[in-house]
Each structure stands twice: as structure tokens, then as C-alpha cells.
Amino acid sequence: MRLATLLGPDVKELLHDDPDQVRALLEEIHAEDIADLVSELSSEDASTLLSRLEPSEAAPIFERLPMHEQQEILAHMAPEVAAQIAGAMASDDRADLFQGLPEHVGDALLSNLQRVDPEAAEEVREIEKWPETSAGHLMTTRYVSVLPTATVGDALAAVRSDALVRDEPVYNVYAIEEDDRLIGVASLRDLILSEPSESLADIMRSHVISVQAGMDQEEVARWMAKYDLNVMPVVDDGNRVLGVITIDDIVDVLTQEQTEDIQRIGGVEPLQEPYFQTSFFSFIRKRGVWLVVLFFEEFFTQTALRHYDPVFEAIKGATYYVPLLISAGGNSGSQSSTLIIRGLAIGEIKMRDWLRILAREASMGLVLGLMLGAIGFSRVLMYRDQHWQFALTIGITLVGIVMTGCTVGSMLPLILRRLGIDPATSSTPFIASLVDVLGIIVFVQVAKIVMADVILAHAAH
Amino acid sequence: MRLATLLGPDVKELLHDDPDQVRALLEEIHAEDIADLVSELSSEDASTLLSRLEPSEAAPIFERLPMHEQQEILAHMAPEVAAQIAGAMASDDRADLFQGLPEHVGDALLSNLQRVDPEAAEEVREIEKWPETSAGHLMTTRYVSVLPTATVGDALAAVRSDALVRDEPVYNVYAIEEDDRLIGVASLRDLILSEPSESLADIMRSHVISVQAGMDQEEVARWMAKYDLNVMPVVDDGNRVLGVITIDDIVDVLTQEQTEDIQRIGGVEPLQEPYFQTSFFSFIRKRGVWLVVLFFEEFFTQTALRHYDPVFEAIKGATYYVPLLISAGGNSGSQSSTLIIRGLAIGEIKMRDWLRILAREASMGLVLGLMLGAIGFSRVLMYRDQHWQFALTIGITLVGIVMTGCTVGSMLPLILRRLGIDPATSSTPFIASLVDVLGIIVFVQVAKIVMADVILAHAAH
């Protein structure tokens, strides 16, 4: 990595001028770093460069490029070459590539791939059968397996012969029956620790943790993290092995799912592409929809304020406190909803805990509300022209509003989850708007009690 | 896992009644699942149970328990037994345990550990030297290494003799000079593919990607994800190996860092413990500090509204629109800041992109603002008692406010980052409050221009 950073400009020039040199470089620099450098070339230059390499050399670089760059480079490539490179890619990366391509481009590439590497084409079809965020879509269909009757020596031979066809890390050998049922697993370390003549059945673990192909990738990630697994077999209903998921894909899944959660919490529909690759129009759509929904929701604040016009007419300057009061509710609501949404996401909080949460949040709201209420009360008293009754109204309102924020903010994500909706879906801004309206109602009701005489006097007048 | 869920209640009873049976169970069920069951026992029962096992059997269960349960169980355990279990733990989990213990408890345990397993005690001291979120703290000091002059057969022998002292996955053998300098790495697969008589130097990769012990764990996670590494060596300034970091710890780091980011975005100081383990007082402190800061910030809205009293007096009902208007700014600001904060966190956005971001966000703000402005304009016109000039004021104000939200929301995280502050730090609610105040100013300035005649007439009156 330091090497690549150091050589950056020179290497880029070299890649451009003499693509054949890349072969020598590949032995020195990680494909990831070469990919970084290729990223900075024009898609035409990148295409020329990758075409000059052996497909087995080009694929590890190509598969590390961002999706949109892959598509642009493919557009400049001879269909034959593109198919060869696709054939040499890791099968999960290849599936992602096809997923992202426009249908007619994908179909053309797949029929070329069928000619160059029928097995790879079959894999693409197998993986594409599964939903994009499922275990089946995340898996690679290549793994090392032997029959359960094999010896340790057979298993080691299988690892060696696998190495002849592909250059990807291998950690486990699976014992799989003729009908594809998963029987056991042995790590390379287990194999090294045993005598070649030993029976694999004697040394393998036969309680293999596996996932169904339809399982959501986020849940797969949780399982792999929980059991500290580097590789997870994917099976069908009959415990027949379809493929394996490797931990490096899980790290990507976690990052992607977390990005989506954060975007939802921020009130943006999750983006499919990085910030700069997302089109202007796509941004307008993904942000606009929530801005408009929240805008309509927030109209209720205006309606409520207008509705309570007589009260606000009676208490001069009261409306000036509205943003201050309702933002306290919105902020405490955001805190609660953030804590609950994240707790649900990482499994710390269960639905059955709702009553404990309600009790906790209500009492937290009371204490936090008293803190802000005391500050608010003192602040109003500092104005000479404000009555102590008004200061008291502000203080009590803050207690009520912060309690409302904490309880609504903590309960709404649980309700959304119960309704089968992702609790992260824009709930933080949504809760803030809801609490804004409730806050105005709390304010008016408190004022009507504490300042009843003032309001009555104004009405009589 | 399905097994454990199925057997749950029975197994729990068994653990309680006859701890010796756990040994048989351990061969059937993953330690993680046993840990789940142990979690449901009282800390006294759990302590009795773990004490009856061999330390090498108890440690894999114990190290999978949540921190607070580990501490409670230790309190019930004979110091000797505790030290033996600690000695058998994975070294990074052991370091975490010591990190979490109150100082006098940790010191007592360490001096017992010194007697039972001096090497483990030395490791604790080595790891504790490094900051809690650094590579050095995350590493385990146990790995398999040989001299660069070794053969493949020697490396395989080293894997076998390592297996005699500990039962943890091994993926790589490192070639390390007498002075601890890292020379190369070979995976178990590389070893299996070679002849035992071959020289390790001939088959190993000599460009080893490694990290400095002081590097932040989040950056380590990014590197390991980027290079699809399962194990990362940790070195000092002189490229001398101190330990290795494994990918399962990285998955935990990603989840933890992500939780902290989400909590910061939600305006909560990151919690150290899960929701239900965090004390009430700790919550009040971690939430209260930001609520109070934001509350003081929001006071400026009241000050601004009061300051512009003549304008609001002139335009009847104008104050009722304030929450609606400023929330539109807050929401668009939240969207922008969320996108930028996340983009910075995953490295999609660089500081040098700031001008492109500013241009993009300003134009997005314009389009989104025009959308909301059109809705707002129409809505006001629907009231018969509102003047078209006021509707125009609302429409134009929305354009200005949403543009302000987008630009402030996108630039503030970049400014925070430049100042060396984590851009996630409460910036979303902070930006919302800031935009609230700016929104009021925009509203008044627009009104002063569009409704100049109304305001003047009122002043004259």
C-alpha cells in the first residue's frame, strides 16, 4: 500500500504507456492497489490495459473496481474479452456485475460467457435466482469438497487440485454426500494436524453451522459475527450445499447495511451508489419524497397554532417560545429513537422489552425535562416584562414535552417493527415532526391551566 | 444453533444440576450457544458451573459472555480459578476483560495470573500499553511464526506444535527474523500446495501488508476490508511483529464504531454498555449534556423572534408558520449532514471535494426548496384571509431555508473534520438548531422585501 502511494504517478503512466509491465507489477503490488490506480485512468485506457492482460490477471483487478467503472470499462471492451474476464472473476463479484448491468447488456455478456465458460454462466444463473440481499446472492458457488468417505490425504489433494483452477483463499474442506447433503467440515488446520491416512469422518466437525439461501444477508452477518466464522455454508431446504459465504463479503454487507440505516435515520431513502456517483435526479427523488412527507406532517403545527389563536393572542410573546419548546421535544425524541433503533438492529433490545423501555424512557424524560424546565423557567424570569406565571408555564411545558419526546421516540420504532416496517425508515425526523405538534398541544394545555386568569381576562377584554 | 434453541430450557436445568455434563454438551454445541445459556443463569450458578470445568473448556464460554456478566461471575469465583480461566482465554478477549475491571480487582487478578501463567500476564501488560481503540489493543500476541530460513515442513511443524498449546484458528505462518522483523507470510493453503522440503522463502509473499500498533481500529478495519484480509500483522516502528488482528474482531469493531456514530448523530454521547446495562444516571449525563447545549443554542430562536417583533406584529399569523418553515431547513440540513458524515466515515468523500459538494448541495437545495416552496405557496393561498404577498413570502422563504439547510448541513461536517473533531459529534441536531435560527432570519428578510408595504403601513399605524 505504501509502495503504491509512493509510486502512484509513475505507475499510472506506466499502465498507460506499457500495459504489459502490469504483469511484473502484479507480483509486487496487491490487486486492490492496482485497481486504485486503474480507477484513475479513463475507462478507455483501463479497458485497453485490462484487455492486454491474461483474463486471470485482469479479473482480480476488474472485480475490485466500483460497479459504475466496471460498466463503463465493459462498454469499451471486445465482447469476447469481457466474457473471458467475467469468467475468471470471483463468482459472487461476477453475480454483482450482472445484477448491475442493464438487462440487454447482461444478456449479451451472459451468452458470450456461456461459450467461453459454461460453468461460470451456470453459476451466474444460480446466484441470480436469489433476491439481491439474500444469502444465496452473496455466496460463491465454488468451494472445496470431498465425499465423507474420503481420507485426510484425499481432502488435501482436493485443496491442491482446486488451486490449479482458481487462486482464492481456502479455509475449509466440506464433506458432502453424493446428493449434495452437508455432512461435516474440516479446516485446513485440522487437516494439517492429522495423518493423511486418517478418515476425514474421524476428524471433521459434524455439527456444521449453515444458513438457508433465502436468509437475509444482515442476519447472515450477525450469525457469522456471533460464531466467529470466516466461511459460512449456504444450503437449501434439504441441507444440500449451494455455496459458501466468506467473511470479506460480510464486512461489505455490514458497511452497506449501516450506511442504509444511517441514511434512513437522516431521512434519505438509501442510495444505491456512492455520493458522487448518485445522479442529481436520483437525489432529488430520494430526498424529496421525505422532505415533502415531513413538510405535510409539519403543516399540523401551523394548523394547531392557528387553532389556538385566542390563547396566543392572550399571552403576548408566547409564540416566540414555540420553536425553543418543540425543538427540546424533537431532540429528546431523536435521542430515544436513535437508541432504540440501534438497539433493535444489533439485537440488544427485543420487542418483549417494550414495557421496561417505556418505564425507563418516561422517567428519563421526567429528569431531563426537569433539567431543561429549570433552565427555561430561569431564562424567562430574566426578562422583566414576563410574568412569573409565564415562566412557570414554560418550565412545566418543557417537562411535559421532553417526556412526550422520550416516550413517543422510544415507542414508535417498536410499533414500526411490529408492523413489519424497518424502524430506521425516516423515523427520527418523522418523530421530530410528530413531537412538534404534540408539543404545541402540551404548551397550550399547560398555559390554559397555569395562566387561566390571563387568558380569561383577555377574552373578556 | 437450532439445537441449542430446541434444547434451551432442558440444557439450562442440566447446567444448573449437573455441571459435569457440560463437557459432553461442549462437543455438541458451539461455545457461543453455551454462553447464551450460561447468560441466563445467576452469576453465582454460572461461576459454580465454569469452575467445575477445565480452564481450557471454561475459557471459550467465559470469553463470549458480555463484559458486565464476566465481572459479576468473577466476583463469585476463587481467585485461583479465575486466574486459570483468564490464562486460557484468547489474548485479546483477556485484554478486554482487564480493561473493564476496576483497577484493584484487575491488579489482584493479574498477580494471580502471573503465578499461573506468566506468559499470559506478560501479554496483558503488552496489550494494555496501547490505547483502547488502537490496533495494539485489538491484537492477540499469539501467532505462528518461523525463521525465514525454515522449510515448508518446518512451518507445518510449527502449526502442529501451536495446536498443542491452544485451540484457535490459524490461517497464516509468518516468517520473522530473530530480531522480530516481519519478512514474509504464507497461508496454510500455500503450505499445503508446496513440498515439505521447499524453502519457505521461495513460496511466501514478501510484500506483507501490516499496520502500526498505534493505528486507530477503525482504520485497521478499513484496510482489512479493502484488502480482504482475515488476519493483519501488527508491527512497531521497526517493522517488528507485536501481534496479529483477526477479522472476527474487526466485525465487532465495525459494529461498535457504527453504534457510536449513530448515537452521536442522534445527539447522545456514545454509551459504553448496551441499553439495559447503561445506568440511569449515565443516560442522564450522556443525553443531558447535549440536550442542554442544544437548548441554549435554540434560545437564539426566541431571541431572534423577539428581536423581529415589529415585523411579526405587522403580519398577523406569521409566527404560526415559523415551526413549519424552520423544520424544512432542519430536515434538509439533516439529510445533507447525514450523507456527508457517512461519506466521510467510509472514505467515499474526501476533504478536497468540498467545493464540488457545496455546488451540488446548493443546487439540490434550490430544486428541493422550489418543490416545498410551491407547496407552501399553494397552501397559504387556500386560506381566504391570507394575502398573496404572504403566500409569496412563504414560498421564497422555503427556497432560501432549504438552500441554507443543504449548504450548512453539508459544510459543517467538513469544517468539524478539518478542526479534528469527529464530524458525527451531535452535528445533525446541532445543525438543525443552527438552521432554525438562520431560517428565522431568512423569513424576516424575505418578508421585509416582499411585504414592505404591509410592514410600513403597520409601523405608521
- Tell me how close the Cα of A368 comes to any Cα of chain B, in angstroms: 6
B137 to each of B92, B96, B125, B143, B242, how far by Cα in Å? 7, 8, 10, 15, 11
pLDDT of residue B405: 95
Q: What residues contact B322, with CB distance under 8 A and at least 6 apart?
A: A319, A322, A323, B301, B305, B439, B440, B443
- Can you read off the three cell numbers belonging to residue A161? 487440485
pLDDT of residue A19: 63
Record: contact B343-A160, CB cut-off 8 A: no
Record: contact B251-A224, CB cut-off 8 A: yes
Residue numbers in chain B where pLDDT is lower than 50: 1-6
Could you tell me the end-to-end alpha-carbon distance of chain B, in angstroms, rounded to an integer?
Answer: 80
Record: contact A160-B299, CB cut-off 8 A: no
Give residue limits of the domains in chain A: 2-128, 145-247, 275-460
Taking a contact as any Cβ pair under 8 Å apart, which residues of chain B between 87 and 146 contact chain A?
none
pLDDT of residue B156: 94
Percent of chain B with pLDDT over 70: 94
Q: Is B339 on the interface with A (CB under 8 A)?
A: yes
Q: Which of B173, B198, B235, B247 to mutate to test the interface with A (most CBs of A within 10 A)?
A: B247
B372 to each of B107, B398, B401, how far by Cα in Å? 62, 6, 10
If you classify domain A275-460 with CATH, what class do you get? mainly alpha
Taking a contact as any Cβ pair under 8 Å apart, which residues of chain A between 203 and 262 contact chain B?
207, 209, 221, 223-228, 230, 247-248, 250-252, 254-255, 258-259, 261-262
Record: contact A188-B193, CB cut-off 8 A: no
Residue of chain A whose Cα is closest to the Cα of B342? A259
pLDDT of residue A232: 94
Q: Is B285 on the interface with A (CB under 8 A)?
A: no
Task: Classify domain B2-128 at the CATH topology level.
Answer: MgtE N-terminal fold (1.25.60)
Q: What whole-number distance in Å separates Cα of residue B446 and Cα of residue B147?
A: 76
A299 to each of A295, B310, B316, B379, how far by Cα in Å? 6, 25, 17, 9
pLDDT of residue B2: 41
Record: contact A156-B192, CB cut-off 8 A: yes
Nearest residue to A282 (alpha-carbon basis) of A268, A300, A297, A295: A268
Residues of chain A neighbouring B274 (CB-CB closer than 8 A): 343, 348
Q: Is B274 on the interface with A (CB under 8 A)?
A: yes
pLDDT of residue B128: 84
Record: contact B368-A291, CB cut-off 8 A: yes
Burial level of A25, CB count in 10 A (0-12/13-18/19+)?
middle
Taking a contact as any Cβ pair under 8 Å apart, which residues of chain B between 161 and 180 contact chain A?
163, 169-171
Helix (H) or strand (E) holding A233: strand A231-235
pLDDT of residue B449: 93
Q: Each residue of B39-49: pLDDT tens digit?
A: 878 888 888 88
Q: What angle do CA B393, B395, B396 make, to 5 degrees?
A: 65
R_g of chain A, CA atoms, integer Å: 31
B67 to each of A93, B81, B109, B148, B277, how far by Cα in Å? 38, 18, 16, 40, 10
Q: Which of A223, A246, A335, A441 to mutate to test the interface with B (most CBs of B within 10 A)?
A: A335
Residue with cell 467445575: B52
Q: What residues contact A158, with CB distance under 8 A and at least 6 apart?
A: A144, A145, A146, A150, A173
Where helices occur in B194-308 by DSSP H, the ranges are: 200-203, 217-226, 247-265, 280-307
pLDDT of residue B179: 93
pLDDT of residue A20: 67
Closest Cβ–Cβ partner in A28, A274, A299 for B379: A299
Residues of chain B neighbouring A282 (CB-CB closer than 8 A): none
Closest Cβ–Cβ partner in A287, A309, A331 for B294: A331
Number of CB pairs, chain A paired with chain B, less than 8 A apart: 320
Half-sphere exposure of B161 (CA within 13 A, CB side): 10
Helix (H) or strand (E) holding B311: helix B309-314
Q: Which amino acid is at A240?
A: R
Angle between helices B55-62 and B79-88 (to 10 degrees): 80
Q: How far is CA A243 from the centre of its chain?
A: 23
- Can you read off the three cell numbers belonging to residue A411? 415507542
Q: Which CATH architecture has domain B145-260?
A: Roll (3.10)
Q: What whole-number distance in Å separates Cα of residue B172 and Cα of residue B144?
A: 7
Q: What whole-number distance in Å separates Cα of residue B32 and Cα of residue B39?
A: 10
pLDDT of residue B300: 92
Q: What residues contact A331, with CB distance under 8 A and at least 6 apart?
A: A405, B267, B290, B291, B294, B295, B429
A145-247 CATH choice from 3.10.580.10, 3.30.160.20, 3.30.1370.110, 3.50.50.60: 3.10.580.10
Q: Is B24 on the interface with A (CB under 8 A)?
A: no
- Tell me how close the Cα of B244 comes to any Cα of chain A, in angstroms: 16
Show pLDDT as tens, one digit a residue, over chain A (461 residues).
344 454 556 666 666 676 666 667 666 677 888 888 888 788 888 888 888 888 888 888 898 888 888 988 998 998 889 999 998 888 778 888 887 788 888 888 999 999 988 988 988 888 888 888 899 988 888 899 999 999 999 999 999 998 887 777 889 999 999 999 999 999 999 999 999 999 999 999 988 999 999 999 888 988 888 888 889 999 999 999 999 998 888 888 888 888 888 888 888 888 878 888 888 888 899 899 888 988 998 999 999 999 999 999 888 889 999 999 999 999 999 999 999 998 888 878 888 899 999 999 999 999 999 999 999 999 999 887 778 899 999 999 999 999 999 999 999 999 988 988 888 875 778 888 899 999 999 999 999 999 988 888 887 87
